[in-house]
Amino acid sequence: MGNSSSKTDNVVGSEVPDSPEKAILRGKSHSTANISPSITCSSTSSGTNLKSDSKLSRSASGADVTEKYLTQLVPIEKLAVILKEKSVKLGINGIASEVFVSQVFPHYADLGRRLFTFLHLNSRATTTYLGTMAFRQQCERFLGIMDDAKVLECYVKMYAQEDNPDFIDKEGVTRLLHICYTIAMQHSGNSFVCSEINRTFSSVTKSIFFSQDSMSLGYVCRWFEQNLMRLVLLIHKYCVHTLSTAYRGLEQGAPSCGIELQTPVLEQRNPFTEKSARDADDASSSLMPLSQAWLLAGALPPSYSKPRQVTSPSSSKASAAQIFKEKLSMMPSHWTLLYNSNEHGLGANRFLHHVLGYRGPTLILIHAENDQTYLVAAPGEWKETHLYVGGEGSCVMQLLPKFVILEKKPNILYLNTRVRGYPKGLRADSDPRKPIISIDEHFEKIDIKGIAHIKEAERQRTVKLTAADWMDHPDRFLLELGGRQNYNN
């Protein structure tokens, strides 16, 4: 979404020939009045006082009764006409909720019902359906929202409690996350199910609600704005696209099918699955489930999850719809595994060998005791130095059991194994005296918030090697020099 913009509805009097108001508006006003076509009032004042006695009212079906102009959004006008024709067959002189859901959002019925309810509440209609004019008004206003914070507020409201619309509970947030994930992961009309999706969503709800059953809409909006803003903006792009293009399929007699979103990460094996799990196709043993990768793609800057380069229509036959699909996808298509202590062995030398020299953004996952998972995000190349480095986008997060951004600012990353007189190891935090994460120079001990987390360091330092690998391994030659000629296990 773009930058926020404000809209001012100026209510002015209708001009009457040779009236004092006309002289005032033209002769004494030095500013240009922007006349809103959707709100007009008649003035019955006399002399120099402009006072409106008429009030804006609505019809029972939710339309502003003073609405006289034709909509400028032709797709919405055509969609309203088609939906009304189908609703009339059901005996409803307007647009029914079930028709809107079945024709515009057939694959996402819950989202369609919540969107229609949102439009219905904003119209303040007293009927169960929406009049054609009210439907057009509310759709245009919905599509005209340009401020990201307002967009977020709309969707949080959609998933609020029915009996207490000023609050939202864990189920509502979970449903919002689920529809965001489903739409983002859609591929050829089918949603990809992650076995760890409930655990991923639970980490978010634990972070938002603590021990509370529900929270205010304002608090939840601020939390999403600070942590997962991009996820909700993605679903708004989908809804805007669907409302703007649904009439095309309906004119041909077929319900709207939305769009097929690209999920490039599904075209290859999960790069975060351990080697043993890849051989057995066991998704539960993955180092990072796809749902967690999706969550990170929404929390981290776009540089970490930049999708594949979109081909220009001028150089190929790519359509505008295809380009839109690729832009709408948030799943990373280029993440690859650089280092895994279970496969490559635990140690500073092994870490440096696999990580140093890579100049792109990197994510370091740290699995500690009690199923705690932390992440250190570096937007650029790692370098050994006694100084704290890291550009915009440097971040320290807790992924499990709660999803929490612990630190997000430049110059919070530290890696030193050579410079004497300075702390050795890897650190992450803006305070060098109390780092959030501290790994010693041998990569055997991990301190998180001052608490030691040792997780079978000796076991992880042992690497299983085949006979062929052991013949060329440097440790074999060192052991033989030490007199262990027959050491081959």
**Which CATH number does the domain housing residue 132 bear?**
1.10.238.10
**In-domain check, residue 311:** no
Whether 81 and 228 map to the same domain: the answer is yes
Positive or negative, the CA dihedral 281, 284, 287, 292 is positive
Neighbours of 370 (CB within 10 A): 7
**In-domain check, residue 48:** no
**In-domain check, residue 358:** yes
Which residue has tokens 């969609």? 79
**In-domain check, residue 123:** yes
**In-domain check, residue 280:** no
| Residue at a domain's end among 210, 230, 252 | 252
**In-domain check, residue 239:** yes
Q: What is the pLDDT of residue 335?
A: 81
Question: Side-chain half-sphere of 156: how many Cα atoms within 13 Å?
Answer: 26
Whether 124 and 236 map to the same domain: the answer is yes
**In-domain check, residue 89:** yes
**In-domain check, residue 155:** yes
Q: What is the pLDDT of residue 378?
A: 95
Range of the domain at 367: 348-457
Residues 6+ positions from 27 with CB-CB distance below 8 Å: none
Alpha-carbon gap, residue 162 to 145, rounded angstroms:
24
Whether 100 and 243 map to the same domain: the answer is yes
Joined together, the tokens standing for residue 184 give 């983002």
Whether 235 and 355 map to the same domain: the answer is no
Joined together, the tokens standing for residue 263 give 């999920």
Q: What is the pLDDT of residue 60?
A: 74
Low-confidence ranges of the chain (pLDDT < 50): 1-55, 67-71, 187-190, 260-268, 276-284, 308-316, 455-461, 487-489
Whether 96 and 233 map to the same domain: the answer is yes
Look up the pTM and report it: 0.73
Whether 370 and 247 map to the same domain: the answer is no
| Residue at a domain's end among 233, 252, 271 | 252
Joined together, the tokens standing for residue 66 give 């003073």
| Residue at a domain's end among 223, 252, 281 | 252
Number of domain units in the chain: 2
Q: What is the pLDDT of residue 355?
A: 92
Nearest Cα neighbor of 326 from 311, 343, 315, 339 is: 311
Q: What is the pLDDT of residue 8?
A: 37
Whether 239 and 356 map to the same domain: the answer is no
Whether 87 and 216 map to the same domain: the answer is yes
Contact by Cβ (8 Å): 150, 217: no
Q: What is the pLDDT of residue 29?
A: 36
Q: What is the pLDDT of residue 332?
A: 63
DSSP lists the bridge partners of residue 261 as none
